[in-house]
Structure 1
Amino acid sequence: MQVVDPHLHFWALDQGNQPWLENPTPNLLGDYTPMARDFGPDELLDQLDDIELVGLVHVEADADDPVAETRWLTRTLAAYPSLNAAMVVRVDLSQPEAPARLEAQCALSGAVRGVRQILNVHQNPLYDYVGRHYMKEALWQQNLARLAPLKLSFDLQIYPSQMTQAAAIAARHPDIQFVLNHAGMYVDRQGVRGWCEWRDGMRTLACQPNIVTKLSGFGMLDHQWSLGSIRPLILEAIDAFGVERCLFASNYPVDGLYARYADIWHAYAQIIADASHTEQQALFVSNARRIYRI
């Protein structure tokens, strides 16, 4: 089974750059202590089984020093040219130094394709990532605009309550490619209201042609996920965005807390088994190659 994986993470704890892994504290992931170990290309290759990985996108992993993370990744990935790796790096767009940091990140590697700054805000502390509404800040918006001249996309990690605001941001920046992370992170699962907020928010985002969505990360909020529990989310997202604007991804090794690498991909394949070969190829390979220029 051939895939391009557009969302995974590597780290080496001896770099001292991921304190959230060095000192695990239970959060929305649950107890993620089993993930607190080195994970790099060799560990990934050991997980593939019958998956033929023909490209990948490394997404920043909340490093204390994002530039050091990119420098380490550049050295590490140089030994694995067959992985055809691209990178989404971290830059805090709320800072005055953001333009210089964007330039510095791009100068480190020709594989840099985009930026992610996690934006998730939630009233429940268990789910709140940043406690700050960056998208409302003028300087953040000003620095976001600097991505277009650098041909950088923006990986958009938000909750459904933030989708209307994110759609408005995307409308103001039609020359930036936005990539919604983890199918919009359907977090409020108690009752119909949370479902409707996620469903309607996805359709609001889909109205902006410069937004695509990754279908990934389902285990983070549904630790005991099954084909039955993720099928409605996947089919609803594909219905909203269309096949050409959806990308299957693993979110490994984070989602490795809940499933084996190959099992995640085979679950996706089962859910869309009745799609045409062209549609399957788009969802598993060609969309990711197009969006991230792999």
Structure 2
Amino acid sequence: MARRKIVDAHHHFWDLGRGYNYPWLQDKPSGEGMLGDLSPIVRDYGVADYLADTAEYEIVASVHIEAVPRDPLEETRWLTSLDGDIPTGIVGFAALNGPDAERMIAAQAGFAKVKGIRQIVNWHQNPRLTFTPHDLLADPAWLSGYRLLGKYDLSFDMQLYPGQMDAAHRLAVRHPGTLIVINHTGMPADRDPHGIALWRDGMKQLASAENVVAKISGLGMVDHHWTTDSIRPFVLHAIDSFGTDRVMFGSNFPVDRLYGSFASLYAAFGAIVADFSEDEQDRMFRANALRHYRL
């Protein structure tokens, strides 16, 4: 894998010195949710840090995903002010259920690097796992905001749990012109037989909609002590479901830096897909992200 050309389809930057913009990170660094102890990443993380982490690989482009900022437009303005081509594309935040949803979507769309919107929709009955107080996929205001994405030619990065995949599939079918990018391999957090079956079936169902693609990323968040063998079935099922033209690899750095190095993560990805052709591997590691994010 050394020096393979990579488009990292999912990473974050933050500059905590710019002010109080990431309450989830700055308020509770000891961690109270599924991510665990956040203290190792409660520091500035920018282009130089990222390039140091990825030094063994040739990062030809990258996609910055909103990092749940208090001021979404300030985050996007800062990212677009950075020198160089990293990040190459941006997925910004907009609260689709907010009273000013269209104003925020339009403002994000005004930045040339912005390719899509993300608002985390992970809802779970377990309060330790949930990211939202209610299921946004069943919220009429949120669904109304989602309809606006097509007007502004933006994709949607969807971070959800398997229990929400049926609703996400229905949403994709209702809005075939809006690309949905499933984040973090569908977040298989529940590892009992029912939870695994729900994830496996849900990924297949989502893949049946042609306007849905998947990112293989974020597995450390649901498996803090992951190994190549422990993530292998999730990586391979995602590829089996979506095919080699509709999956992308992403690092989720620096969040997944909590659970391993960039080199160990991409070495694991490389080992898992070693039996695929070189053309298929190149698509998953590079070309698909360029195409789906219009970089």
TM superposition score category, shorter chain reference: over 0.9
Aligned residues of 1:167 and 1:208 also touching (Cα < 8 A): yes
Other-structure match for 2:114: 112
Asked if the contact 1:54–1:84 (Cα under 8 Å) also holds between the matched residues in 2, the reply is no
Corresponding residue of 2:141: 139
CA distance in 2, matches of 1:100, 1:88: 16
2:66 equivalent among 36, 60, 68: 60
Equivalent pairs, count: 289
Q: Which ranges of 4 or more aligned residues in structure 1 deviate by more than 6 Å?
A: none
Identify the residue that residue 19 of structure 1 maps to in structure 2: 23
> For each residue in 1:144-175, what CA deviation from the matched residue of structure 2 results, as whole angstroms up to 9, or x when unmatched?
11111211000011000000011001100000
Following the alignment from structure 1 to structure 2, what is the Cα–Cα distance between the partners of residues 193 and 2? 38
Amino acid at match of 2:50: L
2:95 aligned with 1:92: yes
What is the CA–CA distance in structure 2 between the aligned matches of 1:157 and 1:48, rounded to whole Å? 24
Over 3 Å counting, the alpha-carbon distance change for 1:74 and 1:2 in structure 2 is: same
Superposition pairs of residues 1-294 of structure 1, within 5 angstroms:
1-15=4-18, 16-23=20-27, 24=29, 25-76=31-82, 79-81=83-85, 83=86, 85-107=88-110, 109-189=111-191, 191-294=192-295
Structure 1: which 5+ residue stretches go unaligned?
none
Cα separation, 2, equivalents of 1:49 and 1:69? 25
State the Cα distance separating 1:143 from its structure 2 match.
1.6
Question: What is the one-letter code of the residue matched to 1:17?
Answer: N
Percent of aligned pairs sharing the same letter = 43
TM-score (norm 2): 0.96
Q: Which runs of 5 or more residues in structure 2 are unaligned?
A: none
C-alpha deviations, 1:202-253, integer Å up to 9, x for none?
1111111100000000100100000110000011111111111110110000
Letter aligned with residue 102 of structure 2: P
C-alpha RMSD over aligned residues: 1.0
- TM-score of the superposed pair, with normalisation by structure 1: 0.96
Q: Shift of residue 84 of structure 1? A: 5.7
